[in-house]
Amino acid sequence: MSEPGARTADSPHVTELKHREAGLSDDDVLGMYRQMLLARAVDERMWLMQRAGKIAFVISGQGHEAAQVGTAWPMRRNQDWMAPFYRSIASVLTFGMTPEDIVSAHLAKGDDVSSGGRQMPGHYGAKRYNIVSLSSPVGTQVLHAVGIAMGAWVRGEDVVAITSFGEGTSNQGEVHEAMNFAGVHRLPVIFVCENNGYAISVPLDRQVGGLSVSARAHGYGFPGVTVDGSDPIACYVAAKEAHDRAQRGEGPSLIETRVVRLTSHSSDDDQRRYRDPAEVEVLREHDPIMLFGNRLAAAGLLTEVNDNALRAEVKAEVNAASVHAEARPDPDPATAERWVYAEGAD
Ligand SMILES: Cc1ncc(C[n+]2csc(CCOP(=O)(O)OP(=O)(O)O)c2C)c(N)n1
Ligand SMILES: [Mg+2]
């Protein structure tokens, strides 16, 4: 895993934690930090496995961890629903998936919980966790989340749906339709845009007129906020407020988290071909794990010793997950059509 950054109380950009004002305990914020480390470690392990030829493709959540852990934190497991996107490793881990589930899916193992080896890597989804599988056309998950929220409202169930997507995706027609419909019917749904400034190679100013995704919420009749996506506490506060609103029957919210994409778009891409080398050079200074670690250290909650202990624990967890995932059976070719076509159909 990436080495911890320099840890001093007077490091630049260290802002006060103020987690207690947000209703979070010391254990909560350390738990968030651990979850971010875990997501990063799983992610980095999959890059290694991809480079070793064991998995076909990786699409990474590195740089998005604080936004994902913070926004998933208020969601109630086994009650709420999540419609994630391909970078959502930290979101789905926070909502109950395990590192082994994620690695098994990337290895396309026969008993992988997401699809039994049918889906592309990064296509998270498992009924047992209330996570809907995403489809490759970007933005479809936003409609799914609105549909889930509508279903819950019709049945009178206390369910909140959360969905996440990139700022490039926010321009797809169905995303506007989904948000407008949710606004009209005041559905219990939280829209999380993880704005990393690029849609593959296309920068923000070539994608978003006005440069703000959250500003659009006003037009759909619900609140939109922009938060620092390297601050899991700020993301949590926005998501908690959105969750409370949804539960009170006040309808949807849109949260735009400003994040960095620390890696290339995917393992098939090389961002040095379209990003300014100086910009790529300084990306690591925006690493949310380093920034949050510095703030925890400045607040006296993280020392080098417990940071190293946490990292060792997480590494052992990911080692065990990959060993177990690799030992799982590959799918039986005779079952290739299972879960693709209705069984018993002609
Ligand atoms: C409908 C559709 N169009 C194009 C693509 C190809 N594609 C995959 S990811 C992506 C970029 C999306 O960018 P953004 O929404 O900003 O998310 P990010 O990858 O930056 O997190 C594109 C164009 C697709 N999968 N589906
Ligand atoms: Mg993007």
Q: What is the mean pLDDT of residues 92-102?
A: 98
Token pair of 306, please? 């417990």
Backbone torsion region of residue 180, taken as left when φ is above 0, otherwise alpha when ψ lies between -120 and 50, otherwise beta = alpha
pLDDT at residue 260, rounded to an integer: 97
| 172 CA → ligand 1 middle, Å | 10
Partner residues linked to 199 by β-bridges = 202
- Confirm if 102 and 44 have CB atoms less than 8 A apart: no
| Among protein residues, the one whose CA lies closest to atom 18 of ligand 1 | 166
| 300 CA → ligand 2 middle, Å | 34
Q: What ligand has the least distance to the C-alpha of 57?
A: 1
Residue with tokens 């690799």: 326
pLDDT at residue 346, rounded to an integer: 52
pLDDT at residue 11, rounded to an integer: 54
pLDDT at residue 340, rounded to an integer: 77
| Among protein residues, the one whose CA lies closest to atom 20 of ligand 1 | 199
Q: Span 26-325: which CATH code?
A: 3.40.50.970
| 265 CA → ligand 2 middle, Å | 9
| Among protein residues, the one whose CA lies closest to atom 24 of ligand 1 | 137
pLDDT at residue 301, rounded to an integer: 97
Overall pTM > 0.75: yes
pLDDT tens digit sequence for 155-197:
999 999 999 999 999 999 999 999 999 999 999 999 999 999 9
pLDDT at residue 74, rounded to an integer: 98
Q: Which atom number of ligand 1 is nearest to the Cα of residue 196?
A: 20
E strand or H helix at 239, and its extent? Answer: helix 232-247
pLDDT tens digit sequence for 196-251:
999 999 999 999 999 999 999 999 999 999 999 999 999 999 999 999 999 999 99
Which sequence spans correspond to the domains of the chain? 26-325
* Total Cβ atoms within 10 A of residue 150: 17
